[in-house]
Structure 1
Amino acid sequence: MKLTLGFSPCPNDTFIFDALIHHKIDTEGLEFEVFFDDVETLNQKAFRQELDITKLSFHAFAYAIQHYVLLDAGSALGFGVGPLVISKKSLMELLLENGVQHRESESASEIVEEDIKPYLSNLKIGIPGKYTTANFLLSWLLPDANNKEELVFSDIEDAAIRGDIDLGLIIHENRFTYRERGLKKIFDLGDLWERQTGCAIPLGGIVIKRNLPEEVKLKFNRVLRKSVEFAFANPKSSIDFIRQHAQAMEEEVMYKHIELYVNKYSVDLGDEGRKAIKLLFSKASELKIIPFLDDNIFLT
């Protein structure tokens, strides 16, 4: 059986899927037609039900849940993996030039208080897509942010450097490159989530169409888990495939990227991973960022 499969060219995804699509493991008779796209393009494809199996943001999953179910394997959750808000200027500089008072000893996390949220909400913010989990977290912190511009995630740093945007919401490998380009971290949305919830931050998952036979869904979930386990056991096996799609990224950055986003939750969500995902959906629903969900989220 041949299935359409979409995932991003980022190192964490190519690391996970290498063994599966190159038959380094037993795929139990499954074949795949593969599509590589950035996460927001994959989100939009999921809304149109274009692919049998796809990576997507957990935020986007809330709008595709009637057609897809979440697999136990392949997800990106973790601690210290959240999106960052960056700027060409420091937070203190941004506040001072707009007459906002602050104490110099305050950290970026401490200073994101109610009295400055209106100011931050009015700044022009570059985001990697409306339906990314990164944008959900930004909306959770700054529900009144009303001046957002959607950009391809890899273009956000350049837009901040040019001054086209005041703040940039960065994900993926840009976590490792913004400092060397002279940009400054304003706050870490993942850190804020972790401190307030105690849970890992759910970023993205692998979903499969609900209308496929149950046997096929369970089979693919098994195969994907085997692919992740193979990747962990043979970390250098996928290096050529990763490098092929990593857009001239340095090998050190590639492996930092993988270490950040591929972990025990990628093998199996487990109770902790499921709890974090349910909490994200619950909070997003309470804030009316997503519709109320009454569908079963998980495959098993």
Structure 2
Amino acid sequence: MALSLAVSPCPNDTFVFHALVHGLIPAAETVDLTFADVDVTNTAAERGEFDLVKVSYAALPWLLGDYELLPCGGALGRGCGPLVLTREGHDGDLSGATVAVPGDRTTAYLLFRLWSQDNPPARIEVVPFHQIMPGVADGTFDAGLVIHEARFTYPRFGLTALADLGEWWESDTGLPIPLGAILARKGAVDPQEAAEWIRTSVSMAWADPDASREFVLANAQEMEPDVVKQHIELYVNEFTLDLGKEGLAAADALLGRAAAAGLTPPVPSLLT
């Protein structure tokens, strides 16, 4: 029986998992792939719906009882954090604002809550990611929290970046930004074996980028090839191959600060 895998259709995930999902790794088990946005997988994983699943680091406090964090395959890095966008001319005061966010357990929203603790917005609305920038542009929302390819495309909507939460996080902690994690469901898959399959898949993607090109572009949600290339270069990095101590320290810092602020349940250190 195939293992169930859920990742996003974003270029970094399709690039990383191409070899694994296409049966190109001889030692790996067959994988049954589901594409879903991370706000969907965060809650689906809480129900135990997938054997291997991409989730937000912010969702880990609700998932680590049933899942184990894998040390590879996710999205963690520098210069790749979420942006808070507003229309040009906005005064930057969010105290009375309605802010659109892509999910209430996303790392982006958790970073936003930590950043805005002293001046939280009046209202938060969770909306599908593709509606955020158009909604800010047309005045439906006063501001929007965006991730991924929006870093490259938001000027097209006439928007301006009020804050780069990645820059804020890095300047405050000195650590990379922990965005998306890969989890293995306990009892369903051996985490060490799964990590080796994923690392092999990453290495194969780097060794022959053209092999995954058709698969990546077919699922890139109408992104132009140059944006796809920028996306992969930004989000697929050394931490994708191995979180290492620095990556785990970043996740620890995020979850520790969130728990201290009363935003998430506490979790044991990931470094032990």
**Mind listing any 5+ residue stretches in structure 1 that lack a counterpart?**
96-118
Contact 1:11 1:242 in 2 (8 A): yes
Which residue is equivalent to 2:132? 156
Taking the aligned partners of 1:131 and 1:146, their CA distance within structure 2 comes to 19
Which residue is equivalent to 1:220? 194
C-alpha deviation, 1:285, in angstroms: 0.8
Same amino acid, percent of matched pairs:
39
Q: How many residues align?
A: 270
C-alpha change, 1:233 and 1:204, in structure 2 (3 Å) is same
Contact 2:6 2:54 in 1 (8 A): yes
C-alpha deviation, 1:217, in angstroms: 2.0
Taking the aligned partners of 1:29 and 1:134, their CA distance within structure 2 comes to 32
Which residue is equivalent to 2:34? 35
Establish whether residue 270 from structure 1 lines up as the match of residue 267 from structure 2.
no
Which residue is equivalent to 1:284? 258
What is the alpha-carbon root mean square deviation over aligned residues? Answer: 1.5
Taking the aligned partners of 2:94 and 2:56, their CA distance within structure 1 comes to 25
Taking the aligned partners of 2:158 and 2:232, their CA distance within structure 1 comes to 24
C-alpha deviation, 1:146, in angstroms: 4.0
Instruction: Please report the TM-score for the alignment, with normalisation by the length of structure 1.
Output: 0.86
Taking the aligned partners of 2:64 and 2:239, their CA distance within structure 1 comes to 20
Contact 1:76 1:202 in 2 (8 A): yes
Taking the aligned partners of 1:222 and 1:141, their CA distance within structure 2 comes to 36
Which of the pair has the greater relative contact order for Cα pairs under 8 Å at 6+ separation?
A: 1
Contact 1:121 1:142 in 2 (8 A): no
Which residue is equivalent to 1:73? 72
- For 1:125, what is the secondary structure of its paired residue? strand
- For 1:178, what is the secondary structure of its paired residue? helix
Q: What is the one-letter code of the residue matched to 2:43?
A: Q
C-alpha change, 1:29 and 1:246, in structure 2 (3 Å) is closer
Establish whether residue 231 from structure 1 lines up as the match of residue 205 from structure 2.
yes
Contact 2:7 2:13 in 1 (8 A): yes
Contact 2:68 2:191 in 1 (8 A): no
Instruction: Please report the TM-score for the alignment, with normalisation by the length of structure 2.
Output: 0.95
Which residue is equivalent to 1:14? 14
| 153-162 or 191-200: bigger deviation | 153-162
Identify the match of residue 94 of structure 1 among 91, 95, 111: 91
Establish whether residue 250 from structure 1 lines up as the match of residue 247 from structure 2.
no
C-alpha deviation, 1:145, in angstroms: 3.2
Q: What is the one-letter code of the residue matched to 2:84?
A: V
Which residue is equivalent to 2:47? 48
Q: What is the one-letter code of the residue matched to 1:184?
A: T
Establish whether residue 185 from structure 1 lines up as the match of residue 182 from structure 2.
no
**Mind listing any 5+ residue stretches in structure 2 that lack a counterpart?**
none
